[in-house]
């Protein structure tokens, strides 16, 4: 088949690693270009909540299982290799080596026209044996695929900026939680970060590279800076005070990974190899990819713009689960259902649930009538004090009350809250407008239990902003049982008092 014929028709793409950070974001980008997509996943069920789940074929398999790889490659034009064994233990290099060889052999036998692999940017002039195990394995996988006999494009990236990227999450947590840092020498190592949007654009573009292209490409954004610089830029974009960073030469990569593990929720098995890699300067030695996949008219995203996209507020419509709706695909920087629990920053929650001996309609009347003259059903003095403190700090306090004594609508003010979402007879979500070192929501839902009774669920959520946000949450946490526990208990009691028999 001619190159022109391939270019004119949609391609059939196999994506491995679709449950991972990059793969899960690549699939909708390929679909948007009109390509057919098949995903190879060890746990296909993990992909069912993605917005694209009904438009892509999902097959069960593993890159270490040649039979499943061979079957998944039938009828495929382009195979994306987006998996690695990082975090699986000390033997990950051998696992990566074996999987890459099997993948290349199966691709050649299946007549795959191109392999596209996303690896790690390696420092120029450093022998492969001197690289960290993580970078060394990435480089070896790229070499194996290039030697497979199938035209291969190996994209080599340093830090990828986007919510959910392990490197970015390390940056996020370290910067937000530590206004003063005693850091190892690697924070002064230069790197060239790239936005996830640009990574995906290049991955999609590589599907149509000329057949004769079989090589590596360095990819990076327009900014070259140190990890320390990135932390300061993150702080500025996030609205945090400038960080005080003191470098010391005595922290080894092993000690550094323990330090990162203590401060951040990124698992140590992932953090350690990433930290070890940070001792190498990783800056693009060439930009040849531009000849084949030109940059967009507005250019590559700079670090500040990429950070702003990655730091977009958690979607209000999905704040209770921290997972975006499957019906609402978002931008590449948005969270995905398959992102790990530690991705996306901290979100503290207080959950209460009670069976209520009243009809759902009676319970909803109490929920919709909350606030204003009706109060908040727990410790009136505490709520009044919180409102007074907010007023003292320049906030709205409790003086706004509510527009209507019985009915609420989206956008209504409700004391120092704002109605963000309302589903009549079922859900009320409020967003705090008081002065807080973070963002807060209060969500109340009315549901029927499987046995036919009524259930009241209440979520208080807080997304902290910097160390002050974390300190605030833990300072008020001891009072939650009284304030939020009392609220749930008294709302249920009020509904039962007005509808003791549970009649509608």
Three-state SS for 156-202 is: EECCEECCCCHHHHHHHHHHHHCCEEEECHHHHCEECCEEHHHHHHH
pLDDT band at 254 (very low <50, low <70, confident <90, very high): low
pLDDT value at position 279?
Answer: 74
Q: pLDDT confidence of 245, banded at 50, 70, 90?
A: confident
Helix axes 227-238 and 166-177, enclosed angle (nearest 10): 70
CA angle 367, 317, 311 (to 5 degrees): 130
More confident residue, 344 or 434: 434
CB atoms within 10 A of CB 74: 11
- Model confidence at 286: pLDDT above 60: yes
For residue 323, name the pLDDT band (cuts at 50, 70, 90).
Answer: very low
* pLDDT at 2 > cutoff 60: no
Residues 308 and 397 in one domain: no
Q: Is residue 343 part of a domain?
A: no
What is the pLDDT confidence band of residue 331, given thresholds at 50, 70 and 90? low
Whether 279 and 400 map to the same domain: the answer is no
144 domain residue, yes or no: yes
**Does any domain span residue 52?**
yes
Which pLDDT belongs to residue 322?
45
Tokens of 224: 């070259």
Dist. CA 432–CA 398, nearest whole Å: 12
More confident residue, 261 or 55: 55
* Domain of residue 267, CATH code: 3.40.50.720
**Residue 300 shares a structural domain with residue 375:** no
Nearby residues of 262 by Cβ (< 8 Å), 6 or more positions away: none
Nearest CA to 219 out of 236, 194, 241 is that of: 194
Asked if the structure places residue 215 within a domain, the reply is yes
Mean of the pLDDT values across residues 455-469?
91
User: Does the pLDDT of residue 501 top 90, yes or no?
Assistant: no
pLDDT of residue 6: 45
Tokens at 25, concatenated: 């974001």
Residue-level pLDDT at 325: 42
pLDDT for position 259: 66
Please check whether residue 37 is in contact with residue 27, taking contact to mean a CB–CB distance below 8 angstroms.
yes
Q: Whose structure tokens read 């036919």?
A: 452
Per-residue confidence (pLDDT) for residue 316, from 0 to 100: 41
Is residue 430 a part of any domain in this protein?
yes
Which has the closest alpha carbon to 165: 140, 193, 142? 193
Q: Is residue 366 part of a domain?
A: yes
Residue 92 has pLDDT above 80, yes or no: no
Mean pLDDT, range 268-295, rounded to an integer: 84
317 pLDDT above the threshold of 80: no
267 pLDDT exceeds 50? yes
Task: Look at residue 342 and tell me if it is in a domain.
Answer: no
Q: Where does a domain end: 302, 318, 334? A: 318
Do 270 and 357 lie in a common domain? Answer: no
What's the whole-number average pLDDT of the chain?
86
- 3-state secondary structure string across 109-161: HHCCCEEEEEEECCCCCCCHHHCCHHHHHHHHHHHHHHCCCCCEEEEEECCEE
Q: By percentage, how much of the chain surpasses pLDDT 70? A: 87
322 vs 80: which has the higher pLDDT: 80
- The total number of structural domains that make up the chain: 2
Instruction: Place 334 in a pLDDT band, splitting at 50, 70 and 90.
Output: low
Residue 371 and residue 305 share a domain? no
Same domain, 353 and 281: no
What confidence category does residue 335 fall into, taking pLDDT thresholds of 50, 70 and 90? low
Q: ∠ CA(456), CA(420), CA(236), 5° rounding?
A: 120
Question: Confidence class of residue 28 from pLDDT cuts 50, 70 and 90?
Answer: very high
Question: Same domain for 366 and 296?
Answer: no
- For residue 358, the model assigns a pLDDT of 93
| pLDDT for res 376 | 93
Q: What is the mean pLDDT of residues 455-482?
A: 91
Mean pLDDT in residue range 424-444: 93
CATH of residue 445: 3.30.530.20
Specify which residues 59 forms β-bridges with: 40
Both 314 and 352 in one domain: the answer is: no
Residue 283 lies in a domain: yes
| pLDDT beyond 60 at 4 | no
Task: Please check the confidence at residue 1 and state whether its pLDDT lies above 70.
Answer: no
CA–CA gap between residue 274 and residue 166 (Å, rounded)? 8
Q: The sheet that has 36-41: what strands, in order across it? A: 57-60, 36-41, 12-16, 78-81, 114-120, 152-157, 215-218
pLDDT for 320 equals: 43
Domain coverage including residue 404: 348-498
- Do both 169 and 34 map to the same domain? yes
The most confident of the ranges 77-91, 306-320, 455-469 is: 455-469
Instruction: Give me the residue label for tokens 């069912």.
Output: 48
Q: Kindly tell me if the per-residue pLDDT of 283 is higher than 90.
A: yes
With residues binned 3-state (H G I as helix, E B as strand, rest as coil), the percentages for the chain, rounded to 5, are 40, 20, 40
> Residue 490: which of 359, 367, 373 has the closest Cα?
367
- Residue pair 44/60 in contact by the 8 Å Cβ criterion: yes
pLDDT of residue 382: 86
Q: Is 388 found in the same domain as 485? A: yes
Q: Of residues 74 and 86, which shows the higher confidence score?
A: 74
| pLDDT at res. 141 | 95
**pLDDT at 154 exceeding the cut of 80:** yes
Are residues 274 and 228 part of one domain?
yes
Q: Do 111 and 255 share a domain, yes or no?
A: yes
Give the pLDDT of residue 201: 97
């Amino acid at each position: 088949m001619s190159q022109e014929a391939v270019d004119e028709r949609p391609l059939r793409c196999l994506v491995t690693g679709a449950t991972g950070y990059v793969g899960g974001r690549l699939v909708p980008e390929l679909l948007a270009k009109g390509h057919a997509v098949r995903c190879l996943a060890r746990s296909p069920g993990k992909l069912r909540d993605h917005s694209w789940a009904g438009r892509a074929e999902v097959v069960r398999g593993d890159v270490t299982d040649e039979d499943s790889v061979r079957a998944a490659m039938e009828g495929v034009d382009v195979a994306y290799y987006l998996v690695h064994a990082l975090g699986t233990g000390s033997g990950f290099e051998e696992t990566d080596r074996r999987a890459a060889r099997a993948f290349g052999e199966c691709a050649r036998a299946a007549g795959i026209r191109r392999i596209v692999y996303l690896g790690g940017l390696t420092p120029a002039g450093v022998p492969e044996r001197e690289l960290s195990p993580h970078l060394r394995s990435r480089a070896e996988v790229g070499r194996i695929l290039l030697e497979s006999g199938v035209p291969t494009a190996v994209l080599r990236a340093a830090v990828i900026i986007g919510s959910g990227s392990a490197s970015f999450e390390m940056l996020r947590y370290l910067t937000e939680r530590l206004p003063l840092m005693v850091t190892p020498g690697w924070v002064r190592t230069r790197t060239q970060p790239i936005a996830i949007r640009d990574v995906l654009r290049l991955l999609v573009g590589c599907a149509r590279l000329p057949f004769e292209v079989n090589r590596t490409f360095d990819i990076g954004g327009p900014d070259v800076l140190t990890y320390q610089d990135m932390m300061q830029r993150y702080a500025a974009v996030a609205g945090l005070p400038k960080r005080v960073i003191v470098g010391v030469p005595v922290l080894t990569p092993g000690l550094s990974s323990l330090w990162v593990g203590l401060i951040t929720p990124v698992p140590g098995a992932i953090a350690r190899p990433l930290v070890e890699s940070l001792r190498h300067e990783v800056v693009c030695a060439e930009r040849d990819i531009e000849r084949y996949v030109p940059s967009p008219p507005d250019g590559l995203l700079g670090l500040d713009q990429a950070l702003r996209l990655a730091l977009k507020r958690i979607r209000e419509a999905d704040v209770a689960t921290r997972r975006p709706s499957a019906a609402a695909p978002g931008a590449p920087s948005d969270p995905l259902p398959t992102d790990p629990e530690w991705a996306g920053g901290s979100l503290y929650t207080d959950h209460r649930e009670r069976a209520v001996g009243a009809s759902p309609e009676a319970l909803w009347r109490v929920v919709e009538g909350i606030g204003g003259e009706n109060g908040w059903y727990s410790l009136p003095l505490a709520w009044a004090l919180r409102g007074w403190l907010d007023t003292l700090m320049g906030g709205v306090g409790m003086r706004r009350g509510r527009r209507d004594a019985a009915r609420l609508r989206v956008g209504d003010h409700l004391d120092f809250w704002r109605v963000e979402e309302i589903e009549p007879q079922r859900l009320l979500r409020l967003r705090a407008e008081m002065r807080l070192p973070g963002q807060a929501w209060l969500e109340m839902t009315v549901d029927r239990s499987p046995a036919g009774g009524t259930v009241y669920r209440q979520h208080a959520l807080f997304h902290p902003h910097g160390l002050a946000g974390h300190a605030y949450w833990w300072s008020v946490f001891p009072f939650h049982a009284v304030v939020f526990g009392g609220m749930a208990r008294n709302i249920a009691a009020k509904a039962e008092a007005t509808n003791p028999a549970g009649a509608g």
